[in-house]
Structure 1
Amino acid sequence: MNIIQKIKQIKYIKTTPTLETERLILRPITPKDADAAFVWLSDEKVNKFMPYTLYKNTDEVLHWINAIIPKDKNCHWGIVVKENNLLIGSCSIGPDKKQPDAWGFGYNIRSDYWNKGLTTEATKMMIKFANKKYGIKNFVASHAVDNPASGRVMEKCGLVFDHYGEYSTFDGKQTFKAKFYKMHLE
């Protein structure tokens, strides 16, 4: 069975496991996390290049959390700092819609935790998990050209630039020029 057939067999990921790195715990997000998640989901700096609109209240955050609790082929985690047990962001990984033999990933964290290597640490763990648990060898990701810090995370995780393109917000009101990256593990 090739990798595309394996990916198609995954109807949805029933449970998102808890993972640990040196400084982080990646754990499933629950409705109890709505207040903490609102901190980054309502921050204009964090959401400037995200495909979703800025969240206005915790009810909107609860709707998002309930929508991602295992109903699709992605694993969604909350990013928790071990040192203070603070939920600082979220990340996810799962089958890419445009490239059937690859998995894509995304992330966002509170702006007061930027530039500490935490997003890179979480992303490396997601890639390791997908490779070991599901045998995934191809990974893809993209970022807005005007958000080079996200590209540095991808590069630190081993992805290489592939091509330019664009993506739009879910409501279609804004389009971003983007850089697309890829990685193949042996």
Structure 2
Amino acid sequence: MCIIETQPVIETRRLTLRSPGVQDAPRIAALANDPDIARMTCRMPHPFGPGDAEDFILAVASQDPARAATFLIEHEDAGPVGVVGLFEGDDRVPETGYWIGRDFWGRGYATEALQAATAWARARWRRRALVAGHFSDNPASGRVLEKAGFLYTGETRRQFSRARGQLTDTRMMVWLA
């Protein structure tokens, strides 16, 4: 029998990845209400207010733990700094995505969180591959994914960005265990 963790916690050198709770809504809203973050995601609206944060937390709580896991990225000193998620989408393998609050860019938190999330997916879900993408006008995200072990597939997809309100070229990448 396989036991699925419904609220896993992952510890890294500097970070804790955990399920977001109601108490995190104000911080999530404050971090995510940045047009430069939202426009680099497919699903995040802008503006992103407290109601959006509460809806996000409820959506995470209702995820099927065998098909999706979303983690709040919490720094040991700074508190919540972003989000990383793994979920089954349109591809044959699960997808991952992330965002980090602007004040925490360039510190390696996204790479550290992605490395921990992929290791968790490999160990808990027995996943041997994950896909990710980044918008063509966001090469910094591509560098984060490369540092976390993702490789470019050569495929570019047109994906809808909710914050932009339009289709955007997305460079696809894959992680292989």
After TM superposition, the score normalised by the length of structure 2 is 0.89
Residues 32 and 156 of structure 1, relative CA distance in 2, 3 Å threshold: same
1:87 aligns with 2:80: yes
Structure 1 residue 171: deviation in Å?
Answer: 8.1
Equivalences for residues 43-62 of structure 1 within 5 A: 43-51=34-42, 52-62=44-54
After TM superposition, the score normalised by the length of structure 1 is 0.85
- Distance in 1 (CA, whole Å) between partners of 2:162 and 2:46 is 12
Q: Which amino acid aligns with 1:60?
A: D
Number of aligned positions between the proteins:
172
Structure of larger gyration radius: 1
Choose which of 106, 112, 125 in structure 2 pairs with 1:115.
106
Question: Secondary structure of the equivalent of 1:79?
Answer: strand
Contact kept, 8 Å, 2:38 with 2:163, in 1: the verdict is no
Contact kept, 8 Å, 1:16 with 1:77, in 2: the verdict is no
Contact kept, 8 Å, 2:74 with 2:82, in 1: the verdict is yes
Please list every run of 5 or more consecutive structure 2 residues that lacks an aligned counterpart in the other structure.
none
- Distance in 2 (CA, whole Å) between partners of 1:148 and 1:171 is 18
- Distance in 2 (CA, whole Å) between partners of 1:170 and 1:48 is 8
Contact kept, 8 Å, 1:143 with 1:180, in 2: the verdict is yes
What's the RMSD between the two structures over aligned residues?
A: 2.0
Residue in 2 that maps onto 1:129: 120
- Distance in 1 (CA, whole Å) between partners of 2:36 and 2:58 is 24
Please list every run of 5 or more consecutive structure 1 residues that lacks an aligned counterpart in the other structure.
1-8
Structure 1 residue 79: deviation in Å?
Answer: 0.6
Could you list the per-position Cα deviations for residues 108-153 of structure 1 after superposition, in whole angstroms to 9, with x for gaps in the alignment?
1110100011000000000000001121001110010000111111
Q: Which amino acid aligns with 1:146?
A: D
Structure 1 residue 56: deviation in Å?
Answer: 4.2
Contact kept, 8 Å, 1:24 with 1:81, in 2: the verdict is yes
Structure 1 residue 43: deviation in Å?
Answer: 0.9
- Distance in 2 (CA, whole Å) between partners of 1:171 and 1:115 is 23
Choose which of 23, 31, 34 in structure 1 pairs with 2:25.
34
